[in-house]
Chain A
């Protein structure tokens, strides 16, 4: 099962090792940006420390953490690979920027898609479960659509316009989600009864 494979401890260890190798290669190609490469190596070490810390948590939670660490590793690896390609003049600078933008958009879309699927048991919810579910669905939709828009802008718009356009898409998603959450909270019948 690929989904379980990516959620294993071994996959995170391999990904961390890969990140260290890519960071070192970038360090050799662009030693003047050593802080960035050192930071990524520290992140990889941090991921390994986190692996040790979450050894005893619930298996489902542990798998989620492993999967998230692996996904983060994949996105950083792609960025590092583009940076390396750029330093060897294999990939033009603009393509590298666009790829990073598209990647961020796709991560945003994937996060939005899976947000309503991260269900908390009804008994563990402090708020009205129906309203929480509605808010999660709405925020999931907004985030996913914003992610798709973000990626599309970085594919099709000129670089300068893409910077502004993608930032606007992200901000719109954030404020729409925030407004919806505040509205749902403010109009919660349970809360009004408490008041």
Chain B
């Protein structure tokens, strides 16, 4: 459960989930909406996959992501969006150098 909270505590990851609510999207489509480097985006996707909030599958040369959220996780996402959850600086060990490091 802590991985879910960690995944939902970052605004970029929340926005990715928000975009996936309208249907599956490729990694390229998702990354194009953010002003962050590819490795950072990959790290965000990895956190979301690890938390079990998205699934990915290879289709040709691209990777397609789709939501894999339970109703409670969906509600938690809406709650986090509304109240703007943020992790304390340094709490997110998997994103060394900060989530928006280039």
Residues of A within 8 A of B (CB): 112-117, 119, 121-123, 128-131, 133-134, 137, 140-141, 144
Contact of B68 among A113, A119, A129, A141 (CB under 8 A): A119
B23 engages A117 (CB within 8 Å): no
Contact of A114 among B57, B67, B70 (CB under 8 A): B70
Residues of B within 8 A of A (CB): 21-24, 52, 55, 57, 59, 64, 66-74
A130 engages B71 (CB within 8 Å): no
A130 engages B70 (CB within 8 Å): no
CA distance A122 to B69 in the complex (A): 15
Q: A129-B24, A130-B23 are in contact. Are A122 and B66 (CB under 8 A)?
A: yes
B70 engages A116 (CB within 8 Å): yes
CA distance A113 to B64 in the complex (A): 24
Inter-chain contacts of A140 with B (CB < 8 A): 70-71, 74
Chain A facing B: main interface SS: helix
B69 engages A117 (CB within 8 Å): yes
A117 engages B70 (CB within 8 Å): yes
A122 engages B67 (CB within 8 Å): no
Inter-chain contacts of A133 with B (CB < 8 A): 23-24, 66-67
Inter-chain contacts of B23 with A (CB < 8 A): 128-131, 133-134
Q: A129-B23, A130-B24, A133-B23 are in contact. Are A122 and B70 (CB under 8 A)?
A: no
CA distance A89 to B55 in the complex (A): 51
Chain B nearest CB, measured from A173 CB (Å) = 13
Inter-chain contacts of A123 with B (CB < 8 A): 57, 59
Inter-chain contacts of B57 with A (CB < 8 A): 121-123
Inter-chain contacts of A129 with B (CB < 8 A): 23-24, 66
Inter-chain contacts of B59 with A (CB < 8 A): 122-123
